[in-house]
């Protein structure tokens, strides 16, 4: 793939070995041993404990997901990406929403015939989300319950926000996740697809937490398959410029 701009830093998670120019969560204060349960949240923790002091409170900080990348606009089924290159549509640091917003979330999934609670229980076959709400303070529990009774989910644990708001989020989500992890071990539900149950729980909480902000914007995202991010292929060509690549994006869900 084309060279990443300097403001995008790859962060290696878990116990794998990564290139020397990547950030690596195994260094410093970390919970990398929990990555198989926490997924990207071990990366959030590492940034919170080791990198946040390098930034000013009003600086912007955000994340991409594994093979899920921010786009520079909101797209609909009627509005397609221009055909020059998917890469040229990735989020630019010059996007005015970055200065106008306290938080940016991804274009949401809208469920037509079920709420977020029923979708979670249908997908994961557990009441863990309702049970783990009891670990939150009363005011947050009530707000979270209202969000989960709705039908709009901002997926992938992706967000861009100011450093001061990222810190507030971490101060709430990690103590809660620790209690969720203890619950999951007690109930023995971290198995198979549900191995990352704490991360699945936190995805719903992240959707709720940043949906509370008044100065909030939305952007679309592109889901890139392993083909497009293959290290072997990308040594020779930029796969995002191949014919028909753009027909797969953006990823918009209405269920």
Measured between alpha carbons, how far is 128 from 121 in angstroms, rounded to an integer? 8
Q: Judge whether 253 lies within some domain.
A: no
| Number of independent structural domains in the chain | 1
Q: Which residue has the higher pLDDT, 252 or 21?
A: 21
pLDDT of residue 7: 79
Q: Judge whether 255 lies within some domain.
A: no
pLDDT of residue 19: 85
pLDDT of residue 103: 98
pLDDT of residue 160: 98
Question: Which pTM does this prediction carry?
Answer: 0.89
Q: Judge whether 107 lies within some domain.
A: yes
Q: Judge whether 73 lies within some domain.
A: yes
At residue 60, does pLDDT exceed 60? yes
Mean per-residue pLDDT of the chain = 88
Contact 12, 25 (CB under 8 A): yes
Measured between alpha carbons, how far is 163 from 165 in angstroms, rounded to an integer? 5
Q: Which of 144, 142, 137 is nearest to 204 (CA)?
A: 144
Q: What is the pLDDT of residues 211-225, one digit of tens each?
A: 999 999 999 988 776
Q: Which of 114, 156, 149 is nearest to 133 (CA)?
A: 149
Q: Judge whether 3 lies within some domain.
A: no
Q: What is the pLDDT of residues 63-111, one digit of tens each?
A: 998 778 899 999 876 776 665 667 788 899 999 999 999 999 999 999 9
Which sign does the torsion angle of CA 136, 169, 23, 95 carry? positive
Q: Judge whether 206 lies within some domain.
A: yes
At residue 25, does pLDDT exceed 90? yes
Residue 4 pLDDT level (bands cut at 50, 70, 90): low
Q: Judge whether 178 lies within some domain.
A: yes
Its domain, for residue 230, covers 11-248
Percent of the chain with pLDDT over 70: 83
pLDDT of residue 140: 96
Q: Judge whether 204 lies within some domain.
A: yes
């Amino acid at each position: 793939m084309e060279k990443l701009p300097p403001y995008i830093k790859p962060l290696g998670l878990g116990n794998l070995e990564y290139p020397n120019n990547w950030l690596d969560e195994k260094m410093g204060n970390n919970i990398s041993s929990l990555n198989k349960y926490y997924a990207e949240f071990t990366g959030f923790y590492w940034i919170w404990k080791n990198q946040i002091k390098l930034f000013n409170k009003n600086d912007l900080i955000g994340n991409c997901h594994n093979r899920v990348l921010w786009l520079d606009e909101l797209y609909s089924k009627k509005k397609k990406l221009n055909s020059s290159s998917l890469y040229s549509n990735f989020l630019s640091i010059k996007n005015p929403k970055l200065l106008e917003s306290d938080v940016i979330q991804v274009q949401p999934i809208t469920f037509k015939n079920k709420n977020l609670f029923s979708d979670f229980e249908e997908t994961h076959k557990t009441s863990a989300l309702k049970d783990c709400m009891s670990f939150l303070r009363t005011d947050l529990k009530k707000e979270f319950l209202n969000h989960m009774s709705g039908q709009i989910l901002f997926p992938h644990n992706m967000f861009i926000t100011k450093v001061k708001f990222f810190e507030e989020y971490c101060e709430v989500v990690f103590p809660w996740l620790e209690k969720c992890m203890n619950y999951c071990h007690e109930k023995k539900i971290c198995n198979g697809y549900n191995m990352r149950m704490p991360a699945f729980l936190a995805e719903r909480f992240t959707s709720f937490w940043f949906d509370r902000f008044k100065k909030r914007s939305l952007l679309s995202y592109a889901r890139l398959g392993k083909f497009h991010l293959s290290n072997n292929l990308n040594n020779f060509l930029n796969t995002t410029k191949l014919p028909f690549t753009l027909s797969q994006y953006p990823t918009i869900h209405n269920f």
